[in-house]
């Protein structure tokens, strides 16, 4: 099987020839582990692309002072100014454009990507070549993450609870942009679109299921509908404990979820996802296992997860994201053990 065939089978709950694997190009991990990590990934390969193409990032010399301390600020496409103090790690907002609703009339989303012209045609040709070997997952389609990136987090929650006219107008503007981004990816060529919004704490949902269904569900439906009509897959990433939303995601047409597995009872999540026909990206715990565990712990966890999620029968794949602070012995144990699974 090619990587594309292997992942396609797993998403359809059909047996692949081996457990599919996806490597995330994590800047912090690639920077810390460098060529050793890239060579390890290249030796074992993945199904979502060629790790040889992963660049090893370096901070700009202007962002590092004479004592080696890193500090950088940048403004994103939505107008938020972010502060970064650890290279490769998400920062914190310094300035948000819509903490004051008075700025809403003049705020505009970014210009949508063009679906014609030489740059678009070059991207489309590259996508077609990519899909000859690999499964092409693209996008990071968010609503909630964008909302609390451009307006204070707690205010966004209150606005949603109050169902204010302003938060609805802002959400619809964001969805309007995301519709154009989805259109671009579908016309360029893609196997699956990645949606991503974190809706859980470590113990439960950030907002009630009824509130989520009123505010978010119809907006996701607008974005997911054209993907399904085009015959493509929808993958949804959401951290926190969000098991109460999984039936909704399945009903919306999602084909797979990428959950924070360490928060769940793995047996229950595996059974629930199979009942809902939601494939699962198996993402071994990073904060505890990969940082503080031993190589033996990592190997045992991989084997247990493979058994629990029945990787040989389809319906799952391994997702590998290497952070800074992981002992390289654990990184090697993770990648090698996944590669050994049949």
Minimal CA–CA distance to 272: which of 301, 244, 252? Answer: 244
Which CATH number belongs to the domain containing residue 17 in this structure? 3.20.20.210
pLDDT of residue 246: 98
What's the start-to-end Cα distance of the chain, in Å? 13
Q: Which H or E element spans position 195? A: strand 192-196
pLDDT of residue 177: 98
pLDDT of residue 304: 97
Please tell me the total count of domains within the chain. 1
Pairing of strands 72-75, 81-84: antiparallel
pLDDT of residue 72: 95
Buried b (16+ CB within 10 A) or exposed e, 144-159: bebbbbbbeeebbbeb
Token readout for 206 is: 């950030």
Q: What would the pLDDT profile of 55-78 be if each residue is shown by its tens digit?
A: 999 999 999 988 889 999 999 999
Q: What would the pLDDT profile of 273-303 be if each residue is shown by its tens digit?
A: 999 999 999 999 999 999 999 999 999 999 9
Continuous H helices in 237-342: 246-252, 266-276, 291-292, 295-308, 328-340
pLDDT of residue 134: 98
pLDDT of residue 74: 95
Range of the domain at 180: 3-340
pLDDT of residue 342: 63
Q: Which residues of the chain have pLDDT under 50?
A: none
Instruction: Determine contact, residues 21/340, Cβ cutoff 8 Å.
Output: no
The tokens 């914190």 sit on which residue? Answer: 92
């Amino acid at each position: 099987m090619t990587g594309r065939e292997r992942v396609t089978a797993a998403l359809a709950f059909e047996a692949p020839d081996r457990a599919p694997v996806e490597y995330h190009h994590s800047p912090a991990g690639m920077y810390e582990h460098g060529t050793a990590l890239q060579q390890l990934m290249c030796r074992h390969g993945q199904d979502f692309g060629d790790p040889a193409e992963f660049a090893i990032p370096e901070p700009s010399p202007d962002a590092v002072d004479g004592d080696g301390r890193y500090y950088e600020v940048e403004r994103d496409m939505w107008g938020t100014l972010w502060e970064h103090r650890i290279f490769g790690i998400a920062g914190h907002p310094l300035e948000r454009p819509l903490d004051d609703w008075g700025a809403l009339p003049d705020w505009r989303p970014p210009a949508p990507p063009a679906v014609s012209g030489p740059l678009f045609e070059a991207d489309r040709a590259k996508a077609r070549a990519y899909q000859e070997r690999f499964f092409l997952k693209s996008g990071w389609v968010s609503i909630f993450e964008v909302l609390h990136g451009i307006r204070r987090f707690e205010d966004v929650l209150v606005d949603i609870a109050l169902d204010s006219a302003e938060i609805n107008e802002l959400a619809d503007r964001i969805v309007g942009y995301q519709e154009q981004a989805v259109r671009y990816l579908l016309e360029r060529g893609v196997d699956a679109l990645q949606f991503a919004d974190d809706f859980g704490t470590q113990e439960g949902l950030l907002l009630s299921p009824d509130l989520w269904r009123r505010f978010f569900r119809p907006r996701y439906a607008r974005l997911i509908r054209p993907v399904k009509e085009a015959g493509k897959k929808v993958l949804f990433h959401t951290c926190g404990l969000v098991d109460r939303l999984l039936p909704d995601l399945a009903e919306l047409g999602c084909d797979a979820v990428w959950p924070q597995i360490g928060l769940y009872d793995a047996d229950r999540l595996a059974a629930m996802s199979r009942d809902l026909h939601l494939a699962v990206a198996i993402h071994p715990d990073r904060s505890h296992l990969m940082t503080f565990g031993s190589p033996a712990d990592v190997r045992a966890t991989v084997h247990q997860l493979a058994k629990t999620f029945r990787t040989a029968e389809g319906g799952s794949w391994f997702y590998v994201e290497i952070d800074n602070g992981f002992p390289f012995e654990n990184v090697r144990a993770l990648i090698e053990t996944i590669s050994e699974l049949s």
